[in-house]
Amino acid sequence: MGRLVFDSSSSSFRKGEGGGNGDAEFCVVTFYKFVLIEDPEGEVAKHQEFLQGHDINGRIYVNEQGINAQYSGPVEDALAYADWLKEDLRFSDILVQTSPALDGHAFPRLKLRYKPSLVQLEGGMSHLPVLDPTMRAALLTPAEWRERLEASTNKLEKPNKARGSNHDRRPILLDVRNGYEWDVGHFQGAERPEVDSFRHTSVGLSSDEIAAFDLLFGVDKENTDILMYCTGGIRCDVYSTILRQRGFQNLYTLSGGVSHYLKSEGSTGWIGNLFVFDSRLSLPPSTYNSSLITNVRSKIASESDRFARCYICRSQVLELRHRNCANLDCNRLFLSCGTCVKEFRGCCCSDCIKSHRLRPVLPGHKRYQKWHLYRDRDL
């Protein structure tokens, strides 16, 4: 049987010559689905049984509200699992997204288990009505999303008409991700999330005391369109139920997230790279659509001075890749220019340099091992 290889001309996988796992192409697969699962522990057991003998690493979480999966493996194994899942009517319509792995597995091991919350959110999400489609944001296809973005840009370029006219009210573009994800790439016109971690997001929920940091504070909840996006769509689906409960009416989300948009529509309106939660960390748009001609340098130059800046010296960073602070007790994820990496010994600030628990500066794209592996070492 011929092996499957990634076809860069079409950004998809096809059968190639040869065989055997030794020369197999690896890919990363992501999908999620909100659906009632009455016996999630039993569901986990079924998946574990199927994956016996399949070379799959990654995170696959299941609970009463559905499934959330990001994993890597040889293409045949990775797609076989997705195909098996779609044979179940509950999951037959899931959007399975694939991208090439850089060098074998993108995850160190497989974590397939029951998890109370499918996404990390303070207070959990079990109380949220994510199973009710009417409580989630309306889905926009990548083409529809592009049209909305272009229409929004046109409104900015046209003179303002009668004040208070709903027809001319510009929609709000809401980035529902971590702040450090925005730093490496985002849609033009989106504001940086007010917190570094999605877990603590409170946009649309703020009191008068912190209103200056809330993009949705004081917004007309009944007439303002809110366009939400994240990497794959699940965080928008979850957070839109919170906003819906707070009275926001016109909520829209990008179906399949940024990764789906880049593959379907290219990089129009997108600036920079896409942060991903695996060993690849940061991917250029061409990873999803090889027909793109992406000039990151010129796009950075045309964007505001907040984008792609070194966390320490604020100079522009053209290598859009994060690193963890070398101080074991800090571990901040940040962007740094090459000069500051050397001067600060891989740390994020002068205080961290003084720590007695510093990991060595890692060259190139290497990543530190898990925190607990360094915890008891004499560094």
119 in a domain, yes or no? no
Q: What is the pLDDT of residue 155?
A: 62
What is the CATH number for 198? 3.40.250.10
pLDDT digits (tens, 9 = 90+) for 162-221: 434 444 568 899 999 988 888 888 999 888 777 666 666 666 666 655 555 677 888 889
Q: In the annotation, is 352 catalytic?
A: no
Q: What is the pLDDT of residue 309?
A: 77
Last residue of a domain, one of 269, 302, 335: 302
Q: What is the pLDDT of residue 17?
A: 41
The tally of domains found in the chain comes to 3
125 in a domain, yes or no? no
pTM of the predicted model, to two decimals? Answer: 0.77
Mean pLDDT by 10 residues, the chain (379 residues): 46 45 80 97 98 96 98 96 97 95 90 95 91 97 94 63 50 88 88 69 62 74 93 95 93 96 92 86 79 43 55 77 84 85 91 89 70 64
Q: What is the pLDDT of residue 295?
A: 43
127 in a domain, yes or no? no
Residues 23, 59, single domain; the answer is: yes
213 in a domain, yes or no? yes
Residues 142, 274, single domain; the answer is: yes
Domain, as residue range, for 248: 133-302
Residues 183, 106, single domain; the answer is: no
Residues 53, 189, single domain; the answer is: no
pLDDT digits (tens, 9 = 90+) for 312-354: 888 877 666 778 889 988 888 888 888 898 899 999 999 999 9
Q: What is the pLDDT of residue 235?
A: 94
62 in a domain, yes or no? yes
309 in a domain, yes or no? no
100 in a domain, yes or no? yes
Catalytic residue among 27, 230, 337, 340: 230
What is the CATH number for 81? 3.30.70.100
Residues in the chain: 379
